[in-house]
Amino acid sequence: MANINRTTGKALRAHVAGAGFAGLTAAIALRQNGWDVTLHEKDSELRAFGAGIYLWHNGLRVLEGIDALNDVLHGTHTPPAYETWMHNKSVSKETFNGLPWRIMTRSHLHNALVKRAHAVGVTVRTNSEAVSAEADGRLTLQSGEVLEADLIVGADGVGSKVRDSLGFKQDRWVSTDGIIRLIVPRMKDKLGDEAEWDNTIDMWNLEPRVQRILYSPCNKEELYLGLMAPAADPRGSKVPLDLEVWVEMFPFLEPCLAEAAKLEAARYDKYATTKLDSWVKGKVALVGDSAHAMCPALAQGAGCAMVNAFSLAQDLAEQSSVEDALVSWERRIRPLTDHTQALSGEYAANRSLSKGNMFTNEALEAARYDPIKRVYSWPQ
């Protein structure tokens, strides 16, 4: 098939709304394929929200494809095992057959993507909020400015205005459990010898209350803590966190929890899911949480977003019209995201990860996908 940019003789133009992991990846991948790209961020600066993040083989391959992997790997961590505890007893230690995975802070990943976006020549506009888009390739900003392009990418997150302005049919719901996510100092030397503190440890307690801590080392200095409790539990969901109620259940983490309790800006978030009838309308494509926000159980929301953004640039390079490329992109790439979203939702609703050994071949399907070779390449 003809490459759009080669057949028209001049670079095509894309406007990408939202500079999260999805928008940054889309902008870089399109720019690498010869597009003129402007990335619009409503905030006054480019920054990451949230605490830590897991990336698996699929997301790491995207980073390789956009030449950001080496930068990202430096200062991040792959734990020796993903351990699960129930009532403080280890029930499983998973190593995924050697499948690559990595934990990092969100700001680390975001900074590397921003650096790469600048290096490849993406034009970045901050304080630039998208309010609506049209299927014929127009993007309207809060300022009143109307921009025309060959492609509009709506990567403006779970509350997407680009999506809502186009009238996609959608189902949205939030879960009954939620989580407080924080980065605290590791303090490995203060934690005693109850555990191998370089592991991920998913510490579940269902009795006497449902309280869980996902302990995730990001590097030598930083620890990502996810503190989960039902939204109906006023003490478990309180921010800044209720130190007493967490230390009572997890006394061996007291030094880290004491640091966590000092963080005034902590938030408790419920999991949101968004499911659309379509991700595409004419020259507009939705990527990331705007299209498919999912429960975090399989830690694949950003991974799928990055794969989809990268794959969009691939399909646009192989088709002769933008509209056709978007339709075949959704057809090709969406089933894997739908499946991951459904299984993640099921795991979250049933608290399935508490059983241990839940990273089955099916659960790791998205992780095993290789977006560069377009095959499931793991185990090799």
Comparing CB distances to ligand 5PR, the nearer of 138 and 238 is: 238
How many residues touch ligand 5PR under the rule CB under 6 A: the total is 9
Whose tokens are 């390449």? That residue is 377
Confirm or reject binding of residue 223 to ligand FAD (CB under 6 A): no
Angle between helices 57-65 and 301-316 (to 10 degrees): 40
Q: Which residues contact 374 (CB under 8 A, 6 or more apart)?
A: none
Helix (H) or strand (E) holding 263: none
Residues 223, 217: Cα–Cα separation, whole Å: 4
Among the listed residues 19, 149, 256, 297, the single contact to ligand 5PR using CB under 6 A: 297
Residue 358 beta carbon to ligand 5PR: minimum distance, rounded to whole angstroms:
10
Residues in the chain, overall count: 380
Q: How deeply is 287 buried, as exposed, middle or buried, from its count of CB atoms within 10 A (0-12, 13-18, 19+)?
A: buried
Residues 351, 256: Cα–Cα separation, whole Å: 25
Confirm or reject binding of residue 166 to ligand FAD (CB under 6 A): no
Under rule CB under 6 A, which residues in 176-195 are in contact with ligand 5PR?
A: 179, 181
Confirm or reject binding of residue 42 to ligand FAD (CB under 6 A): yes
Residue 266 beta carbon to ligand FAD: minimum distance, rounded to whole angstroms:
13
Angle at 363 between CA 375 and CA 357, to 5 degrees: 130
> Is 319 strand, coil or helix?
coil
Stretch that binds ligand FAD, among 13-21, 73-81, 89-97, 252-260 (CB under 6 A): 13-21
Confirm or reject binding of residue 155 to ligand FAD (CB under 6 A): yes
Q: Phi/psi of residue 104, each to 5°?
A: -155, 170
Under rule CB under 6 A, which residues in 49-88 are in contact with ligand FAD?
A: 53-54
Residue 72 beta carbon to ligand FAD: minimum distance, rounded to whole angstroms:
13
Residue 316 beta carbon to ligand 5PR: minimum distance, rounded to whole angstroms:
31
Comparing CB distances to ligand FAD, the nearer of 104 and 316 is: 104
Whose tokens are 């050994």? That residue is 357
Give the strand order in the sheet containing 130-134.
Answer: 130-134, 138-141, 146-148
Under rule CB under 6 A, which residues in 259-318 are in contact with ligand FAD?
A: 269, 271, 288-289, 296, 299-303, 305
Among the listed residues 15, 57, 116, 161, the single contact to ligand FAD using CB under 6 A: 161
Comparing CB distances to ligand FAD, the nearer of 181 and 283 is: 181
338 touches 276 (CB < 8 A): no
Residue 214 binding result from ligand 5PR, ligand FAD, none, given CB thresholds of 5 to 8 Å by partner type: ligand 5PR
Among the listed residues 35, 54, 204, 310, the single contact to ligand 5PR using CB under 6 A: 54
202 touches 89 (CB < 8 A): no
Among the listed residues 11, 73, 90, 129, the single contact to ligand FAD using CB under 6 A: 129
Comparing CB distances to ligand 5PR, the nearer of 163 and 181 is: 181
Give the strand order in the sheet containing 36-40.
Answer: 123-125, 36-40, 13-17, 151-154, 284-286, 280-281
Comparing CB distances to ligand 5PR, the nearer of 179 and 280 is: 179
Calculated CA dihedral for residues 363, 104, 45, 160, nearest 10 degrees: 10
Confirm or reject binding of residue 210 to ligand 5PR (CB under 6 A): no
Give the interface with ligand 5PR as residue ranges (CB under 6 A).
54, 179, 181, 214, 226, 296-297, 299, 353
